[in-house]
A and B are shown apart, each in its own frame.
Chain A
Amino acid sequence: MTPISGAAFAWAAVVKIPLVFAGLLVLIAFWTLVERRVAGFIQNRLGPNRVGPAGLLQPVADGLKNMFKEETLPPFADRFLFLLAPLMAFVPALITFAIVPVAAPLPTRWGLVGTAIADLPVGFLYILAISSLGVYGFTLAGWASNNKYSLLGGLRASAQMISYEVSMGLSAVAVLVLAGSITLGEIVQRQQQSTWFVIPLFFAFCLFLVAAFAETNRLPFDLPEAEAELIAGYHTEYSAMKFSMFYLAEYSNMVTASALMASLFFGGWDIPFTAWDDSAPWSFAKTAATFVSFWTKTLAFMFAYIWVRWTLPRFRFDQLMDLGWKVMLPIALAYVMVIGVAVWALEALGLPFGTRYALALGALNLVAAVALFWGLDRRRLIGGAGARARGPWRAPAAAAAAARTGGAD
């Protein structure tokens, strides 16, 4: 069966666009509830459980409340940009999801329908491009509010997102090198032929994970809205539905980042340990099963976002910048080189692409990871201001020896 094209493709898109976006919005609405319930669970309390059975109608109540609340407009704000900013944050966050394939292609009367709205030829670049536009929403919100805290939040947001976009793009380069393609559909296919890329590209996954947390402004990197320092950062002056827009933007960024991690490193819609779902003949059952598989992975990452939120404390802004530019960027650059050389060497050795190929790269990663964490764990690269003043960390025995010989530390 051939993929649909032409008019049929356009009609399929017309059907898929409302379906995907309505589904996303429902997921986001319920995820706000999940976040609060899980937060309650982690903090040994119940969380919202009053509206509807087990609190399930809480998102509806929140939505209604936000729609009927008073819309405030600060008197010295730039009116137009103040209204535009929530939209500029919300729209890019939502449309990045358009190219993520959420299941195996579905056979229909008219041909094979892909499960992404459009698997663009530029694939991953589209995601980077559109998500880079999301910065405008936060920056403009901060500036247009005409409030010092908001401005600081907006500046932090743009600085942070630009810095971590670099590491995010570079860590994904390793994936693209190994996949030999840039479209998400083919990246998933290559993982089905070998193993999930988290094994051969463990480092890239770690970098991508950290960068994804920073890109979505979630703890431990939620500096733009750090309430202890900036009231609420860029959305201090926003109320009612406009505030909800920022909230929705944050959550849809989270969904997209989780879906990307699942697609790039955890096989996308691939079901592990079976080849049944990898190839034609396609059927409805395959689409349904792979759909479940994809969302299991994605929701697991979204759960991790909440989990990390209640586990790690917030970074300081200079630590955040140090981590982004002095640690992640050099590691990402070096890693691209290592993977490039390794792929070239494996091809020169004539090893065909497959499970063994991926496992060989995985072994290389293991060696590199041990070496790297040995270096990182000495507070040489990351550390608070106190650590910098005290100098590099030394093992207690060495420090004691230094103290005995009168060496100042």
Chain B
Amino acid sequence: MRTILFWIFSGVAVVSALLCITRRSPVASALWLVTTLFHLAALYVLLDAHFIAAVQVLVYAGAIMVLFLFVIMLLNLGRTGPGDMKGAWGRVVAGVAGFVLLGELLAFRLAAPPGRLRLPAGAVEHAAEEQGAVTAIARPLFEAYLVPFEITSVMLLAAIVGAVVLAKRKL
């Protein structure tokens, strides 16, 4: 059952990702990206990562992509415009970059993950059963990795301040 669901969700995710980069209309692209993100969330659920799945939908599909769509609609980019691939060189560079990325992904796929990253079978289910889906994430995040977490939040704050300064020259 899980295998069938995995193939369905991953198939839809891959197809909609392809459609996302091949559609001319920005609105269609954005919507296909939403579909991709939603199906990724479904894959997280299959991995028993319920929290990540909920946050994926909440933050990416539900908030960030809505803002994308909002901007696209405000600029009225909805109708098809010219493609942004210019000239032969652009195509060559894009092709090379694509193949490099493909090679990297294949290398990752073939190399075995380091032993320290591998969990014993059933460890995730056990932790989720024992502590609940959220506590299992919250404990390491706010205890062992508190400093990186805080540094990330400072980074986001800097981004917000930057956006406000750019948008409002006169404060």
Instruction: State whether the Cβ of B74 lies closer than 8 Å to any Cβ in chain A.
Output: yes
**Is the CB–CB distance between A122 and B70 below 8 Å?**
no
Q: Residues of A contacting B74 with CB < 8 Å?
A: 155
**Is the CB–CB distance between A129 and B57 below 8 Å?**
yes
Per-residue CB contact flags for chain A residues 127-143 toward chain B (1 = under 8 Å, else 0) read 01110110110011011
Which residue from B27, B58, B69 sits with its C-beta under 8 Å from A158? B69
**Chain A contact residues, majority secondary structure:** helix
**A-B contact list, 24 entries, CB within 8 Å:** A81-B31, A121-B132, A122-B50, A122-B133, A125-B58, A129-B57, A129-B58, A129-B62, A130-B57, A132-B57, A133-B38, A133-B57, A136-B66, A136-B69, A139-B69, A139-B70, A140-B31, A140-B69, A143-B73, A143-B78, A155-B74, A158-B70, A182-B133, A182-B134
Which residues of chain A (297-354) have a CB below 8 Å from chain B? Answer: none
Q: Residues of A contacting B38 with CB < 8 Å?
A: 133
Per-residue CB contact flags for chain B residues 47-83 toward chain A (1 = under 8 Å, else 0) read 0001101110110011100110110011000100000
Which residue from A155, A162, A183 sits with its C-beta under 8 Å from B63? A162
Q: How far is the CA of A129 from the CA of B64 in the complex (A)?
A: 12
Give the distance to chain B from A167, nearest Cβ to Cβ, in Å.
14
Known pairs A129-B54, A139-B73, A155-B74; A122 contacts B66 (CB<8 A): no
Q: A139-B70, A165-B63 provided; 13 other pairs, C-beta below 8 A?
A: A120-B50, A121-B132, A122-B133, A125-B55, A128-B62, A129-B55, A129-B57, A136-B66, A139-B66, A139-B69, A142-B73, A158-B70, A182-B132
Q: Residues of B contacting A132 with CB < 8 Å?
A: 57-58, 61-63, 66
Q: How far is the CA of A78 from the CA of B128 in the complex (A)?
A: 45
Q: How far is the CA of A129 from the CA of B34 in the complex (A)?
A: 13
Known pairs A120-B50, A121-B50, A125-B54; A135 contacts B66 (CB<8 A): yes
Q: Residues of A contacting B58 with CB < 8 Å?
A: 125, 128-129, 132
**Chain B contact residues, majority secondary structure:** helix
Per-residue CB contact flags for chain A residues 108-129 toward chain B (1 = under 8 Å, else 0) read 0000000000001110011011
Which residue from B34, B54, B78 sits with its C-beta under 8 Å from A122? B54
Q: How far is the CA of A126 from the CA of B54 in the complex (A)?
A: 6
- Closest residue on chain B to residue A130 by CB atoms: B57
Q: How far is the CA of A40 from the CA of B78 in the complex (A)?
A: 43
Max chain A CB contacts within 10 Å: which of B51, B54, B55, B73? B54
Instruction: State whether the Cβ of A98 lies closer than 8 Å to any Cβ in chain B.
Output: no
Instruction: State whether the Cβ of A181 lies closer than 8 Å to any Cβ in chain B.
Output: yes
Give the distance to chain A from B61, nearest Cβ to Cβ, in Å.
6
Q: How far is the CA of A132 from the CA of B78 in the complex (A)?
A: 22
Q: Residues of B contacting A376 with CB < 8 Å?
A: none
- Closest residue on chain A to residue B61 by CB atoms: A133
Instruction: State whether the Cβ of A285 lies closer than 8 Å to any Cβ in chain B.
Output: no
Q: How far is the CA of A133 from the CA of B62 in the complex (A)?
A: 5
Known pairs A132-B63, A133-B61; A122 contacts B69 (CB<8 A): no
Q: Residues of A contacting B51 with CB < 8 Å?
A: 122, 125
